[in-house]
């Protein structure tokens, strides 16, 4: 079917349609990964840019291969900063994904149960913050959470805090969790909602007619049927949270380690390009399996 209509046109237009985006992605998406792997294996040079040259043509390619070294990767295992950053990112990303699921599921569920007429409005209300800048949304929380911020003022007004007391959330891991849950909530709600909306209400009616209590009906019918949405939502959040930089940098304290932030500092402050490349390659290796699972589910939805 699809092949036929396409095959009728002259082949060169067909190839042009495929080739233009394909070449763009090969050059600007795939090639950079080859380079990043190569640079992570090269040694830091004093010259600017701060690594030994890579692209000298094929003639010197094998010379280069012989010069490759695992020095940067050894360095990653030597310094506890790196593996502690990876572990801490994994912990923060897993915990916050779980929180997102617990908070997002009831919201998506209520949206799917709402009358058909107001569903588009509710959907719009979820999508709108999703289009708003991450940076702005994180910035909004600084004004709320900082010691002399709006939360302190509000709690003092309510009499929960004394006039001299201040909330101590800013620059802690709690602030990072709040920022992550806030920023990623639409990413969790949208796939959950699209899975729950498709759910056939008559199944639940049948269950209740047959005497199944609502809570049990939820676990036997709703939850298993919403599982594709749950999995898509979790990966859609977990993968980018792993590499998150803005949130830990602006809301977290100096003790909040996350690998995206470590990479950023390695690159912008220490100017060590090979080590930051190695950090990125290891992060990519950790994320390859989740990304492939995500792609699998993306095709199904």
Partner 1 sequence: MNRRLSWFNVTSLTLGFAFLYIPILLLVIFSFNESRLVTVWGGFSTKWYGEMIRNQALMDAAWVTIRVAVLSATIATVLGTLAAITMTRYVRFPGRMLFSGMIYAPLVMPEVITGLSLLLLFVAMDFSRGFWTVTIAHVTLTMCFVAVVVQSRLVTFDESLEEAAQDLGCPPAKTFFAITLPLILPAVVAGWMLAFTLSLDDLVIASFNTGPGATTLPIKIYSQVRLGVTPEINAVCTVMIAVVAVGVIAASLYTKRAQVEKEKAERAAVLQAG
Footprint of partner 1 on 111-170 (CB under 8 A) = 111-116, 122, 124-129, 131-137, 139-144, 146, 148-150, 152-153
Q: Which of residues 56-95 bind partner 1 (CB under 8 A)?
A: none
Does position 11 interact with partner 1 (CB under 8 A)? The reply is no
- Neighbouring CB atoms inside 10 A of 174's CB total 16
Helix pair 134-145, 150-157: axis angle to 10 deg: 40
For partner 1, the closer of residues 26 and 70 by Cβ is 26
For partner 1, the closer of residues 12 and 62 by Cβ is 12
Supply the minimum distance, in Å, between the C-beta of residue 74 and partner 1: 20
Supply the minimum distance, in Å, between the C-beta of residue 140 and partner 1: 4
Give the CA dihedral 74, 79, 81, 85, nearest 10 degrees.
30
Supply the minimum distance, in Å, between the C-beta of residue 78 and partner 1: 22
For partner 1, the closer of residues 37 and 95 by Cβ is 37
Phi, psi (deg, nearest 5) at residue 24: -55, -50
Binding track, positions 16-45, relative to partner 1; x by CB under 8 A: -xx-xxx-xxxxxxxxxx-xx--x------
Binding partner 1 (rule: CB under 8 A), the pick from 177, 193, 260, 278 is 260
Supply the minimum distance, in Å, between the C-beta of residue 296 and partner 1: 10
Burial class (CB in 10 A: 0-12, 13-18, 19+), 83: middle
Mapping DSSP to helix (H, G, I), strand (E, B) and coil, where does residue 3 land?
helix
Binding partner 1 (rule: CB under 8 A), the pick from 1, 46, 158, 289 is 1
Segment interacting with partner 1 (CB under 8 A) among 57-65, 80-88, 160-168, 256-264 = 256-264
- Neighbouring CB atoms inside 10 A of 25's CB total 11
Binding partner 1 (rule: CB under 8 A), the pick from 65, 81, 110, 206 is 110
Binding track, positions 216-255, relative to partner 1; x by CB under 8 A: -------------------xx--xx-xxxxx---x-----
Supply the minimum distance, in Å, between the C-beta of residue 159 and partner 1: 18
Residue position matching structure tokens 């599982």: 227
Q: Which of residues 268-287 bind partner 1 (CB under 8 A)?
A: 268, 273, 276-277, 280, 283-284, 287
Phi, psi (deg, nearest 5) at residue 286: -60, -35
Each as own residue / partner, the long-range contacts of residues 65-69 (CB below 8 Å, 24 or more positions apart, any chain) are 67/42, 67/43, 68/38, 68/41, 68/42, 69/41, 69/42, 69/43
Supply the minimum distance, in Å, between the C-beta of residue 80 and partner 1: 21
Q: Which of residues 186-215 bind partner 1 (CB under 8 A)?
A: 186, 189, 196-197, 199, 201, 204
DSSP 270: S
Token reading at 121: 């409005």
Binding partner 1 (rule: CB under 8 A), the pick from 9, 77, 78, 98 is 9
Burial class (CB in 10 A: 0-12, 13-18, 19+), 274: buried
Q: Which helix (H) or strand (E) holds 293?
A: helix 273-300
């Amino acid at each position: 079917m699809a092949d036929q209509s396409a095959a009728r046109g002259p082949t060169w237009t067909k190839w042009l349609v495929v080739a233009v985006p394909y070449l763009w992605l090969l050059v600007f998406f795939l090639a950079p990964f080859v380079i990043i792997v190569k640079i992570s294996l090269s040694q830091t040079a004093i010259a600017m840019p701060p690594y030994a040259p890579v692209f000298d043509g094929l003639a010197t390619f094998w010379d280069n291969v012989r010069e490759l070294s695992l020095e940067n990767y050894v360095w990653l295992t030597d310094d506890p900063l790196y593996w502690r950053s990876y572990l801490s990112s994994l912990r923060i990303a897993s915990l916050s994904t779980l929180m997102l699921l617990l908070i997002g599921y009831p919201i998506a569920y209520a949206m799917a149960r709402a009358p058909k007429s107001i569903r588009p409005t509710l959907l719009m209300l979820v999508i709108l913050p999703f289009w708003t800048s991450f940076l702005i949304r994180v910035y909004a929380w600084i004004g709320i959470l900082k010691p002399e911020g709006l939360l302190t003022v509000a709690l003092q007004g309510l009499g929960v805090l004394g006039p001299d007391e201040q909330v101590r959330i800013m620059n802690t891991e709690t602030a990072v969790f709040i920022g992550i849950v806030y920023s990623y909530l639409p990413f969790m709600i949208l796939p959950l909602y699209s899975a729950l909306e498709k759910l056939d209400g008559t199944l639940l009616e049948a269950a209740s007619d047959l005497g199944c209590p609502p809570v049990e009906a939820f676990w036997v019918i709703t939850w298993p049927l919403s599982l594709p949405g749950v999995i898509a939502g979790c990966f859609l959040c977990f993968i980018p949270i792993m590499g998150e930089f803005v949130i830990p940098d602006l809301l977290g304290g100096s003790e909040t380690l996350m690998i995206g932030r470590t990479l950023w500092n390695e690159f912008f402050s220490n100017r060590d390009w090979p080590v930051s490349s190695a950090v990125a390659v290891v992060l990519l290796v950790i994320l390859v399996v989740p990304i492939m699972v995500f792609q699998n589910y993306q095709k199904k939805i």
